[in-house]
């Protein structure tokens, strides 16, 4: 029996010197295999503990993101926006100690920069609108606070472009106000460029169409 113990332990000098039993030897041999396998790949593999820590850190971080959505009343489909994904990536690349934008920065300088950026994006589209004509599309919906919002899109052979969203809660049921809103948007796009206006079938839109025809 003693001979067998010596023969088993002889396969690992460290186990023999420390007087480890067969169970300890088995664990050490498995660890040796993992290390050797990692060396063959050019580097040691990360342990599962690191993976667990990463998962726990992600759980905490995304909870902060979710809380911001809930407190600000941001629609969940905003998570599908490319700009949301770009924001997360940009923050990750910057690393720790990023100072968030202040109220005044969001309200004035950053808003101006974004408007200039959007205007620059629309330059090519405006040329396309003048060349081939375009269609104006409006889509009304309600958010969690029961506000009636109208999204405006412009469609042309190049692509469909979102232009703006209007809070129409105060006049959505009024045909005259709806007509004025649509008319002002058509003028901004350029009346000569607009081939058609596509909107809902509500009574306010029907009245707006009658006012347009009688204009």
CATH code, domain with 197: 3.30.420
Q: What is the mean pLDDT of the chain?
A: 78
Pick the more confident residue, 137 or 9: 137
Residues 79, 35 share a domain: no
The answer, yes or no, to whether residue 196 has pLDDT greater than 50, is: yes
Residues 171, 137 share a domain: yes
How many domains would you assign to the chain? Answer: 3
In the prediction, which pLDDT does 48 show?
A: 72
Taking only the tens place, the pLDDT of each residue in 59-98 is 999 999 999 999 999 989 999 999 999 999 999 999 989 9
In the prediction, which pLDDT does 84 show?
A: 96
Pick the more confident residue, 210 or 40: 210
Residues 192, 132 share a domain: yes
Residues 185, 143 share a domain: yes
Residues 78, 95 share a domain: yes
Largest CA distance in the chain: 109
Domain that includes residue 22, residue range: 2-40
Cut 0.75: pTM above it: no
Q: Is 114 a member of any domain?
A: no
In the prediction, which pLDDT does 144 show?
A: 76
User: What is the three-state SS of 87-149?
Assistant: HHHHHHHHCCCCCCCCHHHHHCHHHHHHHHHHHHHHHHHHHHHHHHCEEEEEEEEECCCCCEE
In the prediction, which pLDDT does 9 show?
A: 40
The tokens of 164 are what?
């703006």
210 pLDDT tier (thresholds 50, 70, 90): low
Pick the more confident residue, 33 or 135: 135
Residues 135, 92 share a domain: no
């Amino acid at each position: 029996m003693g001979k067998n113990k010596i023969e088993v332990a002889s396969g690992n000098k460290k186990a023999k010197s420390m007087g480890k039993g067969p169970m300890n030897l088995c664990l050490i041999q498995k660890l040796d295999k993992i290390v050797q396998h990692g060396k063959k790949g050019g580097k040691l593999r990360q342990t599962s503990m690191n993976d667990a820590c990463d998962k726990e850190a992600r759980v905490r971080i995304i909870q902060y993101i979710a809380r911001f959505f809930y407190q600000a009343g941001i629609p969940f489909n905003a998570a599908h926006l490319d700009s949301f994904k770009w924001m997360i990536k940009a923050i990750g690349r910057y690393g720790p100690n990023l100072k968030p934008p202040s109220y005044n920065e969001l309200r004035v300088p950053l808003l101006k920069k974004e408007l200039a950026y959007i205007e620059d994006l629309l330059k090519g589209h405006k040329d396309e609108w003048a060349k081939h004509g375009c269609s104006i599309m409006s889509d009304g919906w309600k958010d969690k606070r029961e506000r009636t919002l109208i999204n405006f899109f412009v469609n042309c052979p190049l692509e469909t472009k979102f232009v703006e969203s209007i809070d129409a809660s105060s006049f959505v049921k009024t045909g005259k106000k709806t007509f004025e809103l649509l008319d002002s948007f058509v003028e901004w796009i350029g009346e000569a460029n607009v081939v058609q206006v596509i909107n809902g079938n509500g009574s306010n839109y029907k009245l707006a169409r009658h006012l347009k025809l009688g204009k």
